[in-house]
Structure 1
Amino acid sequence: MPSSEPTLCLVTGATGYIGGRLVPELLAAGHRVRVMTRNPDRIRDHPWAGQVEVARADATDAAQVAAACAGVDVVYYLIHALGAGPEFEETDRRTARVMADAARTAGVGRLVYLGALRPQDEELSPHLRSRTEVADILLASGVPTAVLRAAMVLGSGSASFEMLRYLTERLPVMVTPRWVHSRIQPIAVRDVLRYLVGSAGLPAEVNRCFDVGGPDVMNYAEMMQRYAEVAALPRRRILPVPLFSPSLSSHWVGLITPVPAGIARPLVESLRNTVVCGEHDIAEHVPDPPEGLLGFDEAVELAVQRVRDSAVATRWASASVPGAPSDPLPTDPDWAGGSLYVDDRTRSTSADPAAVWRVVEGIGGERGWYSFPLAWRVRGLLDRAVGGVGLRRGRRDPDRLYAGDALDFWRVEELERGRLLRLRAEMRVPGLAWLEFHVEHDSADGGQGTTTLRQRATFAPHGLAGHAYWWTVAAFHGIVFGGMIKGIAGAAERRG
């Protein structure tokens, strides 16, 4: 590899879960990065998009993959056809061979592949069988290859972790198949990324598999109980049923969780296998951090704290760049990151933005909430009846709000005067709730233009009670939230 300039790394699967998080880690380590994607538009929303080269290539097209590999020192092969249907094994086989040939011809110095732990003396599931075959193809390519074999990756957005999250949060009582007792050694996404980045500097003679896992070995039932404990949920009741086949299990998971069936099915089938590390040789080349590898509880805490800390990003206001690999990314699938119910409404008005903002900032207290006053009073009384604050706090100032102010049973969490107001609920609800208002002005027509008011109610449920609560009150959202945005716009127009 060249020593006079930074290593050029090609990351395939850059729009996927691991790839999207690996790119900024490589950049932070001083590497140059090229990403390979069939559709460059999908790179656009990543915060690192302007710092990388982009190679348009289909992983099955030999010529395009060869062009993407030209001049590259290290290739990160993160392509898996999981979710592509029953033919995913053949697709994985074909794309791995294309990459092996292209990397060898281009003189790539190293291949790095994130595969799966291989159980000993057990029949492999199709998913694990395909991961093992891909590893063998790359190891036989003639290019020095490092295969990192991992079990469940713990982090928001990981399909296997999201399955665990949804099953635990939504089912206080679970009838489960035998695979809940299979032993698993999960690993935090932070530690996986650390091993991947470190693999770029492996000696040229290293051509082998490395088992990577966290410090905890447990079965799936134990993981669900420990997840519940970290997420402050009641202890789950788990009732194993020996005749519950993997096929039936995958349909059951499809009913309970939003993880697509094409992804859930092969993952569920893999849960029958024991996936525990047989060695920790990777530490000879990439030493463990001084504080040690993240344990299961710490990794889960990181994965769930983004919502717990109320850092709920929106598409149209205060969206933030994740601060840790365990955080969700804007490009993660819709089903990643846990349940989040949203009521999103938009209304255009002829009132000027200042008039709309005055109404927004003056909401609550004596002025009320501009819709169905009786419903708000009843909700306040119910909250007080269960020990909440109700509507009795009102407002500190009738016209001005400041971050941290109490506002009836809300708290001002964020305020950008003239533009954004975000309220966090302090009423008693089985979850976390926010109400956000955003004022925009559009003068593209060259005249006075129009003002757009966006209103967004967000609810992160806590356990089954949270889901039940949302769907119980959902029938009133049209009246309460629909009336609110209409009432605010109308009040602004009258004042104007």
Structure 2
Amino acid sequence: MSTGGTRLCLVAGATGYVGGRLVPRLLVGGYRVRCLVRTPEKLRDVPWRDQVEVVRGDLSDEGSVRTACEGVDVLYFLVHSLQQKGFGDLDRSAAAVAGWAARQAGVSRIVYLGGVHPAGKLSEHLRSRAEVGETLLRSGVPTAVLQAAVIIGSGSASFEMLRYLTERLPAMVTPRWVSNRVQPIAVRDVLHYLVAAADLPAEVSRTFDIGGPDVLTYAQMMRTYAAVAGLPQRVMVPVRALSPKLSSLWINIVTPVPRSIGVPLIESLINEAVCAEHDIDDHIARPEGGLTRFPDAVALALRKIRRGEVETRWSDASPVSAPWEPLPSDPAWSGGTVYRDVRERVTTVPPEPVWRVVEGIGGRHGWYSFPLAWAVRGWIDRLLGGVGLRRGRRDPQRLRTGDALDWWRVEELADGRFLRLRAEMKVPGRAWLELSVEPEDGGTRYRQRAVFIPRGLLGHLYWWAVVPFHGLVFGGMTRRIVNAAGGKHIGVGRAPRRRGGAPAG
């Protein structure tokens, strides 16, 4: 691999699945890295944070992007507003701003990761990817648009859709699109091409299809996954009537991937996704050892998942674009009524084991309280188009700021002491759950606070409808977390619940 020397790369999308993996590889390649993010706090706990420069900015703001591009040699455009309404317009506008800012700042290269697509009518998702690539190519800055089909790697949305469909459905009816050919590519090979694209000569400005060595139907991908995972061969019954939209509803029920992502992914598979060319070979050497075969990519992804070594996950990117404020610690002027449920428990157990339970909450460990109620609420959220509980965790034990955690997102994390989760479920208002651990008299005081800021009358009705269940849900959670830490409690209390515009701090 060539080294970047003192060249500076700006990564827009460093909090996403690919961007979060690209940054450390650029650092290994000798590049300096600057990350453009809306919420710098989401990068606070990543292992490479101290090696990069992080700047706050938004791709809808020309000024902040122009400033971020100052002194930059290579701009990586790795953003996609897939989970937002009107994502096509948002992404096209962001690409125009990025291209303008790069040209104004004298950036010498833009690199963009798009999608392989056939000629003719495209799904909204693929059409948006193609439009972004075309916009960047017209920017006047030499641009490499790398177009990949299905990316296979631990934590990718495409891989998790494949994984859960295959593991949970030993027999299934399959729509026509599972017979379409796909050319998947391992995420490690995508990253190889992305890093190397920084060194392309200035005269190279075009699209490149990138794909792995295997071309398979989606049905063959599922059968291969089953073989690699040691599962019995899956039974598939083709049914012509299943449309992509009906398929996406099934995806929403069976897999952790929400409908907002499942719909565009499925619609992108109604056409074959096979590379039309592989001209990238004329400019970038293949990875050492060659491109990764599909079975090997599956085996590697599963090994990473089983070892808890998932670097990034599709859920790392927040599905909402609004800022995180107001926080539940803001004063009363942050707006309106604030409801709370606060509970505490003192135990003889030292703080460290209690914190281990707190940080390991969710995912396969569950929520230590009334599992049926959590499961039912998760199913309701999925039916409403929300994320539900099945997003799970990136890592089985360790959390980072910005991690998705079932239907929550880690908003604040003080290691060993405090965890704040922001709800991303469908709810008429904004909700947080705070868990804190403090030393007390040789033991630990565990404190738990649920905060809800209602939106309109429906929000108030929602709070009062669920209040009767708080004793079972939150009370049981407090007790079981302390018990799971391995000690007995020496006191329990429930702090008074204040409401009606009182300070949320």
Q: Do both proteins adopt the same fold according to a TM-score greater than 0.5, normalized to the shorter chain?
A: yes
Instruction: Give, in whole Å, the separation in 2 of the partners of 1:334 and 1:62.
Output: 22
Instruction: Output the amino acid matched with 2:53.
Output: E
Tell me the alpha carbon deviations over residues 266-320 of structure 1, each in whole angstroms, 9 at most, x when there is no partner.
1111110111112222122220134111111111111111343xx34xxxxxxxx
Structure 1 residue 100 and structure 2 residue 99: aligned?
yes
Instruction: Give the equivalent residue in structure 1 for 2:174.
Output: 176
Once the two structures are superposed, the pairs formed by residues 302-321 of structure 1 within 5 Å of their partners are 302-308=300-306, 311-312=307-308
Instruction: Output the amino acid matched with 2:443.
Output: T
Instruction: Give the equivalent residue in structure 2 for 1:186.
Output: 184
Counterpart contact for 1:115–1:135, Cα < 8 Å: yes
CA separation of 1:307 and 1:73: change in aligned 2, threshold 3 A: closer
Tell me the alpha carbon deviations over residues 18-59 of structure 1, each in whole angstroms, 9 at most, x when there is no partner.
000000000000000000001100111211111111111111
CA separation of 1:132 and 1:483: change in aligned 2, threshold 3 A: closer
Q: Which ranges of structure 2 fall in alignment gaps of 5 or more residues? A: 319-343, 355-415, 418-435, 447-475, 492-505
Instruction: Give the equivalent residue in structure 2 for 1:475.
Output: none
Give the SS at the match of 1:112. strand
Give the SS at the match of 1:228. helix
Instruction: Give the equivalent residue in structure 1 for 2:31.
Output: 31
Once the two structures are superposed, the pairs formed by residues 69-468 of structure 1 within 5 Å of their partners are 69-85=69-85, 87-120=86-119, 122-308=120-306, 311-312=307-308, 322=309, 327-329=310-312, 332-333=315-316, 348-350=346-348, 448-451=441-444
CA separation of 1:4 and 1:90: change in aligned 2, threshold 3 A: closer
Report sequence identity in percent.
53
Instruction: Give the equivalent residue in structure 1 for 2:43.
Output: 43
Instruction: Give, in whole Å, the separation in 1 of the partners of 2:227 and 2:39.
Output: 41
Post-superposition shift, 1:353?
A: 8.1
Instruction: Give the equivalent residue in structure 2 for 1:420.
Output: none
Output the TM-score relative to the length of structure 2: 0.65
Instruction: Give the equivalent residue in structure 2 for 1:457.
Output: none
Counterpart contact for 2:16–2:312, Cα < 8 Å: no
Tell me the alpha carbon deviations over residues 93-141 of structure 1, each in whole angstroms, 9 at most, x when there is no partner.
1111111111111110000000111213x42111111111111111111
Counterpart contact for 1:176–1:239, Cα < 8 Å: yes
Give the SS at the match of 1:206. coil
Instruction: Output the amino acid matched with 1:109.
Output: S
Give the SS at the match of 2:198. helix
Instruction: Give, in whole Å, the separation in 2 of the partners of 1:491 and 1:444.
Output: 14
CA separation of 1:483 and 1:140: change in aligned 2, threshold 3 A: closer
Which shows bigger deviation, 27-36 or 253-262? 253-262
CA separation of 1:444 and 1:237: change in aligned 2, threshold 3 A: closer
Instruction: Give, in whole Å, the separation in 2 of the partners of 1:289 and 1:232.
Output: 28
Instruction: Output the amino acid matched with 1:54.
Output: V
Give the SS at the match of 2:487. helix
Instruction: Give, in whole Å, the separation in 1 of the partners of 2:280 and 2:114.
Output: 14
Q: Which ranges of structure 1 fall in alignment gaps of 5 or more residues? A: 313-321, 336-345, 358-438, 454-477
Instruction: Give, in whole Å, the separation in 1 of the partners of 2:191 and 2:126.
Output: 21
CA separation of 1:129 and 1:450: change in aligned 2, threshold 3 A: same
Instruction: Give, in whole Å, the separation in 2 of the partners of 1:10 and 1:203.
Output: 18
Counterpart contact for 2:154–2:304, Cα < 8 Å: no
Which shows bigger deviation, 131-140 or 283-292? 283-292
Larger radius of gyration: 1
CA separation of 1:229 and 1:56: change in aligned 2, threshold 3 A: same
CA separation of 1:43 and 1:82: change in aligned 2, threshold 3 A: same
Post-superposition shift, 1:350?
A: 2.7
Counterpart contact for 2:345–2:482, Cα < 8 Å: no
Instruction: Give the equivalent residue in structure 2 for 1:432.
Output: none
CA RMSD of aligned residues (A): 3.5
CA separation of 1:4 and 1:196: change in aligned 2, threshold 3 A: closer
Instruction: Give, in whole Å, the separation in 1 of the partners of 2:25 and 2:275.
Output: 25
Counterpart contact for 1:154–1:189, Cα < 8 Å: yes
Give the SS at the match of 1:105. helix
Instruction: Output the amino acid matched with 1:96.
Output: A
CA separation of 1:307 and 1:5: change in aligned 2, threshold 3 A: closer
Instruction: Give the equivalent residue in structure 2 for 1:407.
Output: none
Post-superposition shift, 1:5?
A: 5.1
Structure 1 residue 13 and structure 2 residue 13: aligned?
yes
Output the TM-score relative to the length of structure 1: 0.67
